[in-house]
Amino acid sequence: MEPTFHIGNLPVYGEAILSPMDGFSDLPFRAMARRLGSAMSYTEFVNAIDVVNVHPALERRLTYSQGERPITFQLFDDDPARLLEAALRLRERNPDIIDVNMGCSAKTVAGRGAGAGLLRQPAKVAQIFSSLSRELDIPVTGKMRLGWDEDNLNYLEIARIVQDNGGQLLAVHGRTKKQAYKGEANWEAIAEVKAALSIPVIGNGDVRSVADIARMRRFTGCDAVMIGRAAIGNPWIFAGLDREDVPAEQVRETMLAHLDAMLDFYGAERGLVLFRKHASRYISPFRLSTEQRQQLLTSETPGDFTALVDAFADEPVFA
């Protein structure tokens, strides 16, 4: 089987990839997406300050399985020297790729000049990619937005800086920092970036169905497509299935397997609580009453949750 594309010398097989999402793309969800066909894995982003200070909460964010390779650790910060120190420390954990986040629009990140805030500092972007690419023996990549706002669309400048300073792949979310997740993604801008670069480009934004994967690739020429919010509650999109094509029994099996993985990873109490945000999306298409949804999403034990799922599965609403 021929690789879909290469990141440096690293082959990647597949055209759809689970996007890194804070609070969602943990090991249980990433591993499931990979089994269903996601081509590679990105961790939730990690703060370089936390890496340097050895924050205890980082351990879970950086835990990965060998079946996830190629595995990408995503970092954010506004300080090039600290980013390099953090990247060198993360290299000891044997990831395949280090990725620099230039897309997070959250005020706590972009407001301090990290994430999408880096887009306002092209010289700093050049410094970051130059130093990381020089000092690391694995590929350095980036994920970016189109600019700070509509009046500052500097995506082509930033894209060329990334490539010229050693970046070996660029993922492009077709929105500005100001847009956050509102409005429409600008696929034409992604196509411009792809045409301007020789390194692989991943398109991101408004891919909600299997047909959208092919449509974005056709429209932009991108090497692969990154899927975030649309994969929550529908990881089968990586297996070429839209949610309406997944039988209720398969939803049930996958949902309970995901819950088991969360319990194993986080422990019974925290695993169940953290799973609720996934459960609400898994059950959203079903014709459950408000009371039934409330019962499921406030279950106090995994056994209660499973018993309710089994009870509702026998009703016509769970179909």
Condensed to tens digits (0 to 9), the pLDDT of residues 85-142 reads: 999 999 999 999 999 999 999 999 999 999 999 999 999 999 999 999 999 999 999 9
Residue 95, both tokens:
């990831």
Q: Write down the pLDDT at residue 195.
A: 98
Which residue bears the tokens 């969360």? 262
Strand 5-7 and strand 10-12: the pairing is antiparallel
Long-range contacts of 274-283 (CB under 8 A, 24+ apart): 277/23, 277/24, 277/232, 278/24, 278/29, 278/232, 278/233, 279/255, 279/305, 280/233, 281/232, 281/233, 281/234, 282/233, 282/251, 282/254, 282/255, 282/258, 283/255
Res 287: pLDDT = 83
What are the tens digits of pLDDT across the range 69-88?
Answer: 999 999 999 999 999 999 99
In the numeric block, the tokens 């409330």 are attached to: 294
pLDDT at 56: 92
pTM for the model stands at: 0.95
Q: What amino acid positions are annotated as catalytic residues?
A: 104
Closest CA to 169 of 129, 214, 134: 129
Read off the pLDDT of residues 20-63 as tens digits, 9 standing for 90 and up. Answer: 999 999 999 999 999 999 999 999 999 999 999 999 989 999 99
Residue pLDDT, tens place only, 255-284: 999 999 999 999 999 999 999 999 999 998
The position carrying tokens 């995994």 is 302
Summarised one tens digit per residue, pLDDT across range 161-172 is 999 999 999 999
Specify the pLDDT at position 304. Answer: 92
pLDDT for res 153: 96
Residues 180-235 pLDDT 10s: 899 999 999 999 999 999 999 999 999 999 999 999 999 999 999 999 999 999 99
CA atoms of 76 and 79, how far apart (whole Å)? 9
* pLDDT at site 314: 60
Domains and CATH numbers, the chain: 5-243 (3.20.20.70), 247-313 (1.10.1200)
- Compute the chain's Rg from CA coordinates: 20
| Mean pLDDT taken over the chain | 95
Three-state DSSP class for 315? coil
Q: What is the pLDDT of residue 286?
A: 85
Contact 159, 132 (CB under 8 A): no
> Encoding tokens for residue 160?
């060329």
Judged against a pLDDT cut of 70, whether residue 318 lies above it is answered with no
Report the pLDDT value the prediction gives residue 227, as an integer from 0 to 100: 98
* Secondary element (H or E) of residue 90: helix 80-91
Question: Got the DSSP string for 230-293?
Answer: GGTT-GGGGGT--GGGS-HHHHHHHHHHHHHHHHHHH-HHHHHHHHHHHHHHHSTTS---HHHH
Residue 151 has pLDDT above 80, yes or no: yes
Helix (H) or strand (E) holding 171: strand 170-173
**pLDDT given for residue 162 in this prediction:** 98
- Alpha-carbon distance of 15 to 224, in angstroms, equals 4
